[in-house]
Structure 1
Amino acid sequence: MTATDQSRQSTRRLLASIHDVHPGSVPAVEKLAGMFERHLGGPHYAMLVVPDHWGKYPIVGNTGFARRLREWSDSGIEIFLHGWFHRDTSEHSGIAALKAKHMTASEGEFLGLTKGDASFRMSEGRKLIEDIIGKPVAGFIAPAWLYGAGAMEALAENGFALAEDHMKVWRPETDEVVARGPVITWASRSRMRTASSLFAAAAGRLALGPLETVRVAVHPGDITKQSILESIDKTLASFTKGRRIGRYRDLLTS
């Protein structure tokens, strides 16, 4: 490797994350974590934790999950707060209605919340997770990467170090964008969405190489389709070549 190649590698990073981590998703999360660690050389990725996924899997009172979450955090995995319920129960109109219909399956929890409701869920979720892991969360990422006006106002006032959507990572307190470019992710809930996500991942492996920061995000449902697992494997293999395995906190100092 030439000096130029080494310098380029040192400035280019891969960020990887597992979404929708909650008591009901542990077996799937463990499988995805194993895949990540084979490619990334260890626990060099993030987990996005949902305090009470769809009102069915509360962390409160689940000592086994709390213990596992603390173990993940202690191993070096970055822990983000990922909404509260993950389920969207708001009524939408205009552009928000289009996003709610076409970008997610009733999972854009923070798309229609008022500032007060968003702030309450952010602060309560943060306290819950930080009490378990014994350290600050890495940041907040809204379910389905969707933020309404109320959520954005609340986010700016809740002191999270980082936030992320489909196209960027930023510091909520200053609005400084610290990474740009689309996140590579997959969809398993229908044949059409799966096919389109496989195509997008393949295109991303070709087109996103020049980006300084590439982000890859997986979900528990991804383990249900072998075609998606194979695509994740190819994508991680592609982007671990010539890049350092980064952490989200690197973005705060670069």
Structure 2
Amino acid sequence: MKPERKLLLASIHDVGPGSERQVDQLATLIEKQLGSARFAMLVVPEHHGAHRLTPGSAFATRLRDWADSGVEMFVHGWYHRDQSQHEGLASFKAKHMTAGEGEFLGLSRDEAARRMRDGRALIEDITGRAAAGFIAPAWLYGEGAHAALADCGFAMAEDHMRVWQPGSNRQLARGPVITWASRSTMRTASSLAFAALARVALHPLDVVRLAVHPGDTTKSSILASIEATLASFAGRRRAGRYAELLG
């Protein structure tokens, strides 16, 4: 089912106690263009094995308040860091598509399912609401992760090029996600160029997705590009919720 109107779906990745300051900055930037709580958060329970999200903590209270205000909460892995050994195509993806952040690229079906279920249980316990879905760190899924998605019953999942319903594999949205890269000058320049192109080329899509990361706050050029991109799309379409894709 197509959405009734063209949508803009914005999200903040890598949300956790260790990124609270950056998440606040990004949330303020998004809300300036889209309005209050018109975005999703991708929550990492224990980013890089540190900054564990703990029920009853001050950050857990903030997460629940965001959820109560209407922010959609996605499970975004458990550690985010990739600790698997890879071969073939997976090795290429791990090396060139992320800097060791593709946690679910090399996991077995059982281990992927365990982390998915544990992450969902924690986030749902804290927010008091069902998780919106699962999105793998760096949008990278191995065979085990794809199989585990069908086992775990998430309402939706997302990668670089699409949003879909696990199990049925029904397509919910298609098109490249607009995101930025801060870890090198060359990658930053490339992401700025793509965002500028996207502000012109992606308007025909029914659903446009835009994703920001805590690292984006380290470069003023990226923040300016995010603001310009939000403004460009918000002027022509409604800031929506991922749940609308389910009809």
Residue 148 of structure 1 and its aligned partner are, at CA, apart by 0.1
Aligned pairs for 1:149-164 (under 5 A) are: 149-164=143-158
Residue 10 of structure 1 and its aligned partner are, at CA, apart by 5.0
Residues of 2 paired with 1:147 and 1:113: CA distance? Answer: 9
Equivalent of residue 36 in structure 1, options 19, 30, 38: 30
TM-score computed with the length of structure 1 as normaliser: 0.95
1:220 maps to 214
1:92 maps to 86
Equivalent of residue 110 in structure 1, options 98, 104, 115: 104
Equivalent of residue 176 in structure 1, options 164, 170, 175: 170
Please tell me whether the aligned partners of residues 10 and 244 of structure 1 are also in contact (alpha carbons under 8 angstroms).
no
Task: String of CA shifts for 1:122-163, please: whole Å, max 9, x gaps.
Answer: 001100000000110000000000000000000011010010
Task: Choose 111-120 or 53-62, whichever is displaced more.
Answer: 53-62
2:118 maps to 124
TM-score computed with the length of structure 2 as normaliser: 0.98
Taking only aligned residues, the RMSD between alpha carbons, in angstroms, comes to: 1.0
1:5 maps to none
Residue 173 of structure 1 and its aligned partner are, at CA, apart by 2.1
In the TM superposition, structure 1's runs of 4+ consecutive aligned residues that sit over 3 Å from their partners are none
Residues of 1 paired with 2:215 and 2:9: CA distance? Answer: 20
2:95 maps to 101
Instruction: Report % sequence identity.
Output: 62
Residues of 1 paired with 2:214 and 2:38: CA distance? Answer: 18
What is the DSSP-based 3-state SS (H/G/I as helix, E as strand, rest coil) of the residue aligned with 1:197?
helix
Please tell me whether the aligned partners of residues 158 and 164 of structure 2 are also in contact (alpha carbons under 8 angstroms).
yes
Letter in 2 for 1:193: R
What is the DSSP-based 3-state SS (H/G/I as helix, E as strand, rest coil) of the residue aligned with 1:132?
helix
Equivalent of residue 204 in structure 2, options 207, 210, 218: 210
Aligned pairs for 1:5-44 (under 5 A) are: 11-44=5-38
Please tell me whether the aligned partners of residues 198 and 228 of structure 1 are also in contact (alpha carbons under 8 angstroms).
yes
Structure 1 runs not aligned, ≥5 long = 1-8
1:76 maps to 70
Residues of 2 paired with 1:214 and 1:65: CA distance? Answer: 30
Please tell me whether the aligned partners of residues 139 and 162 of structure 1 are also in contact (alpha carbons under 8 angstroms).
yes
1:4 maps to none
2:229 maps to 235
Structure 2 runs not aligned, ≥5 long = none
Residues of 1 paired with 2:242 and 2:37: CA distance? Answer: 13
What is the DSSP-based 3-state SS (H/G/I as helix, E as strand, rest coil) of the residue aligned with 1:16?
strand
Residue 43 of structure 1 and its aligned partner are, at CA, apart by 0.6
What is the DSSP-based 3-state SS (H/G/I as helix, E as strand, rest coil) of the residue aligned with 1:169?
strand
Answering whether residue 233 of structure 2 is matched by residue 251 of structure 1, we say no
